[in-house]
């Protein structure tokens, strides 16, 4: 008669390796928690950008705070975090960094930053401007006669393209998300970590090439 023994659960590393892993776990949790709080502030700062932008910031904040709580609970329980969830969180955080880069270095996401009051207040604004720009003496409607120019217009010299400069809030968010990326990468198993680091270097090289060719600027 033979008995089958279930494999024991993976125990967290002990000694110096265990302390180093715990430090990275706490670093990742701190980075994710602070990034979530900063995304709540970003949601409040973008109330005029529409429900889509605000909802995105709030959902991102919820996911990051949930990640931080999960990492803390794992640490308090004395267990190692699930490598699959760590890898998923790493991919999501890197995706957020890429999205930030696209939003601030290109104009691809400008169409999502339209204020809600634009549609409701457009008719009222047009009516007011028409009344102010109609000359009752000459009968000339300057509003209808105004020429429409697409793109940026310079008062003197050549037209200058607009850019979205990174603000302090965005810079702080990127900094703590980079800390989260480092922490999550360190929590992966050695074989997974090598793949993750190689992927991060490849993405960094791609971003550098896009900046060098003018796609990002």
pLDDT interval class at 137 (50, 70, 90): low
Task: Specify if 148 maps to a domain.
Answer: no
Report how many domains make up the chain.
1
Q: In this predicted structure, what is the pLDDT of residue 12?
A: 55
Task: Specify if 194 maps to a domain.
Answer: yes
Task: Specify if 121 maps to a domain.
Answer: no
pLDDT at 153 over 90: no
Tokens encoding 119? 């549609």
Task: Specify if 198 maps to a domain.
Answer: yes
Task: Specify if 152 maps to a domain.
Answer: no
Angle ∠(70,168,42) on CA atoms, nearest 5: 50
Task: Specify if 3 maps to a domain.
Answer: no
Q: What is the pLDDT of residues 26-81, one digit of tens each?
A: 999 999 999 999 999 999 988 887 888 899 999 999 999 999 999 999 988 888 89
Q: What is the pLDDT of residues 71-120, one digit of tens each?
A: 999 988 888 899 999 999 999 999 999 999 888 888 776 666 544 444 44
Q: In this predicted structure, what is the pLDDT of residue 107?
A: 77
pLDDT at 192 over 60: yes
Q: Which structural domain, as residue segments, surrounds residue 49?
A: 16-111+164-212
Task: Specify if 130 maps to a domain.
Answer: no
Contact assessment for residue 107 and residue 216, using Cβ atoms and an 8 Å cutoff: no
Name the range with the highest mean pLDDT among 16-30, 51-65, 199-213. Answer: 51-65
Task: Specify if 179 maps to a domain.
Answer: yes
Q: In this predicted structure, what is the pLDDT of residue 78?
A: 81
């Amino acid at each position: 008669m033979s008995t089958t023994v279930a494999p024991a659960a993976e125990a967290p590393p002990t000694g110096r390796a265990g302390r180093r892993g715990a430090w990275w776990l706490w670093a990742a949790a701190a980075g994710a928690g602070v990034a979530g709080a900063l995304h709540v502030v970003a949601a409040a700062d973008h109330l005029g950008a529409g429900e889509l932008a605000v909802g995105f910031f709030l959902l991102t904040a919820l996911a990051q705070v949930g990640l931080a709580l999960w990492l803390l609970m794992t640490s308090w329980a004395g267990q190692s975090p699930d490598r699959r969830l760590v890898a998923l969180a790493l991919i999501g955080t890197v995706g957020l960094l890429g999205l930030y880069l696209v939003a601030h270095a290109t104009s691809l996401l400008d169409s999502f930053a339209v204020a809600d009051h634009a549609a409701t207040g457009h008719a009222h604004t047009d009516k007011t401007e028409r009344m102010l720009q109609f000359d009752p003496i000459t009968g000339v409607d300057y509003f209808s006669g105004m020429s429409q120019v697409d793109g940026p217009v310079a008062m003197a010299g050549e037209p200058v393209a607009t850019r979205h400069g990174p603000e302090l809030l965005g810079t702080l968010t990127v900094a703590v998300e980079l800390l989260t990326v480092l922490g999550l990468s360190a929590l992966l198993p050695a074989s997974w970590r090598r793949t993750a680091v190689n992927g991060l270097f490849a993405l960094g090289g791609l971003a550098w090439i896009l900046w060098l060719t003018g796609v990002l600027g």
